[in-house]
Amino acid sequence: MSVVDAPARSEAPEEQVRDRADVRRQVRLVVVFALAAAMVLLFRLTTDSFSVTYLLEAQRSADSQPRSLDGSLVNWVALVLALAGVVLAALNRVPRGGLGLLLYVLVGLSFYVAFMAWAFADQGEGFQASISNPIPGTISIATPLVLGALAGVVCERAGVINIAIEGQFLAGAFSASLFASIALSSLAFIPLWLCAPFGLLGGALAGMLVSAILGLFALRYQVNQVVLGVVIVAFATGLTGFLLGQIPSESTGRLNNPDPLEPLAVPVLSDIPVIGQALFEQTILVYLTYAAVVVVALLLFQTRWGLRVRAVGEHPKAADTVGIKVNRLRWQAVLLGGLLAGLGGAYYTVGSSGAFDKEMSAGTGFIALAAVIMGRWHPVWAALAAVFFGFMRNLGTQLSLVDRIPGDLIGALPYLATVIVVAGFVGRVRPPAADGEPFVKA
């Protein structure tokens, strides 16, 4: 064997691995696009020529102007795009990067419009017959999920598994309601317009407190982080339920009755048709969520601190040899994650409904954890995964207004869509190498 032949032979196994990965990706894309085409064809065959009405607003009002849409034309366009996706996937010509993402978005949007046109066909008159703008409902559902997903990304990039997001949500929601209510009823030196934002401070502090418990047992006592996260969720659920039960009925208005945050319109941007009011006439917490995605991405990938956090999440021993304080960085990441998750929990009270109710987060912390994995531990992609799940949850709410789809299937729709997307477009994912592994300095 010559020396020249050695590199080529050593690279062969790596090439085979890449080829197998490409084949798996190709098969997944063919299956997903073919499924989309088959469903759109089914929509077309089960409906005659029809039209549907839609609203640019989230709900009908006196000023609403419903518009009509040719459902048959929509179905044909969606079918052509889905079949084009099948052909490109079968020939392994689906582009990567921006063009590939554009293709996925076009196929997904066309499928969504065709599906909604089919679902709302022949529904009669009135609000139930109109397809409403899904963006406001999506933002409402996705805001806490995005903050929870960012909390999970920050922690796990540092090597700490954060199963306790649900507990941080509950603690943040209860504390935000309590802080805002006390500020409203008892602290005369705080202006009325600052009472609800004061609740955000309470939510952030409560989330950091729960994270401190996570950090203490995971980093100091090296408890199994998965078991620890589940225990913390159970503890937070029981504690917030107990504290809520201890509030006397005569004190509910003083301790659990905050005024929700008021929407703030961004000049010019809020006047953009269709998306302006939905995205830029929101509360300060929603704007903080927008900023948090950018800030976390910059922190992790554009700063020395982020480089060190990623280093201790991938190879803590190597990081320790160059003088990085591994557990100190992990503590910082865990507390930052708690702050973000606490703000996410605050959305359930001062950000939307006002008063705290037992188990009001309803398991969304685990959905945020799934968004972390679906987004490959990247803050932007995890946020988009959270938005996707919020979109599907909102879709289920819209479909509950019509009688075309069984209610049980509507409830399972967000999870089913998430499984399809993960199987078809995400595939196998690799967490940070030292995720969940405690570090003991030699």
**CB contact at 8 A, 55 and 66:** yes
**CB contact at 8 A, 363 and 189:** no
Q: Is the pLDDT of residue 10 over 50?
A: no
Q: Is the pLDDT of residue 132 over 60?
A: yes
Q: Which residues pair with 69 in a beta bridge?
A: 52
Short-list 157, 212, 207, CA closest to 331: 212
- The average pLDDT across 295-304 equals 96
Residues 85-94: contacts with CB under 8 Å, at least 24 apart: 85/29, 85/33, 85/36, 85/37, 86/30, 86/33, 86/34, 86/37, 89/26, 89/29, 89/30, 89/33, 90/26, 90/30, 92/22, 92/26, 94/26, 94/29
Q: Is the pLDDT of residue 305 over 70?
A: yes
Of the pLDDT bands very low, low, confident and very high (cuts 50, 70, 90), residue 8 is very low
The per-residue pLDDT for range 71-105, each reduced to its tens digit, is 677 778 888 888 888 887 787 777 777 777 787 78
With vertex at residue 178, the alpha carbon angle to CA 176 and CA 181, rounded to the nearest 5 degrees, is 105
**CB contact at 8 A, 312 and 434:** yes
Residue 281 φ then ψ, to 5°: -130, 65
Q: Is the pLDDT of residue 55 over 70?
A: no
Distance CA 243, CA 248 (A): 10
Name the helix (H) or strand (E) containing 278.
helix 276-280
The per-residue pLDDT for range 12-49, each reduced to its tens digit, is 566 665 666 667 667 767 777 787 778 777 776 666 66
Percent of all residues in the chain with a pLDDT value above 90, rounded to a whole number: 40
Short-list 117, 116, 73, 91, CA closest to 33: 91
Residue entry with tokens 């065709």: 114
Of the pLDDT bands very low, low, confident and very high (cuts 50, 70, 90), residue 125 is low
Of the pLDDT bands very low, low, confident and very high (cuts 50, 70, 90), residue 131 is confident
209 to 85, 92, 216, 232, 346: CA distances (angstroms): 48, 50, 10, 11, 14
Of the pLDDT bands very low, low, confident and very high (cuts 50, 70, 90), residue 7 is very low
Q: Is the pLDDT of residue 314 over 90?
A: yes
Centroid of chain to Cα 167: 17
At 148 the pLDDT is 96
DSSP track, 391-428: HHHHHHHHHTTSSSS-HHHHHHHHHHHHHHHIIIII-S
Highest mean pLDDT among 101-115, 144-158, 181-195, 241-255: 144-158
Distance CA 25, CA 14 (A): 17
**CB contact at 8 A, 211 and 337:** yes
Percent of all residues in the chain with a pLDDT value above 70, rounded to a whole number: 82
Distance CA 290, CA 113 (A): 26
Distance CA 342, CA 52 (A): 42
**CB contact at 8 A, 169 and 237:** no
Name the helix (H) or strand (E) containing 215.
helix 192-215
At 58 the pLDDT is 56
Of the pLDDT bands very low, low, confident and very high (cuts 50, 70, 90), residue 115 is confident
Average pLDDT taken over every residue of the chain? 83
Short-list 56, 79, 57, CA closest to 69: 56
The per-residue pLDDT for range 143-170, each reduced to its tens digit, is 999 999 999 999 999 999 999 999 999 9
- The average pLDDT across 427-433 equals 78
Which distant-in-sequence residues (6+ apart) come within 8 Å of 20 by Cβ? Answer: none
Q: Is the pLDDT of residue 388 over 50?
A: yes
At 223 the pLDDT is 92
At 302 the pLDDT is 95
Percent helix, strand and coil across the chain, each to the nearest 5: 70, 5, 25
At 46 the pLDDT is 66
Distance CA 413, CA 388 (A): 12
Q: Strand (E) positions, 266-372?
A: 281-282
Q: Which amino acid is at 352?
A: S
Comparing 319 with 414, which gets the higher pLDDT?
A: 319
At 60 the pLDDT is 55
Residue entry with tokens 């300095």: 441
- Candidate from 106-120, 258-272, 308-322, 380-394 with smallest mean pLDDT: 106-120
Q: Is the pLDDT of residue 312 over 50?
A: yes
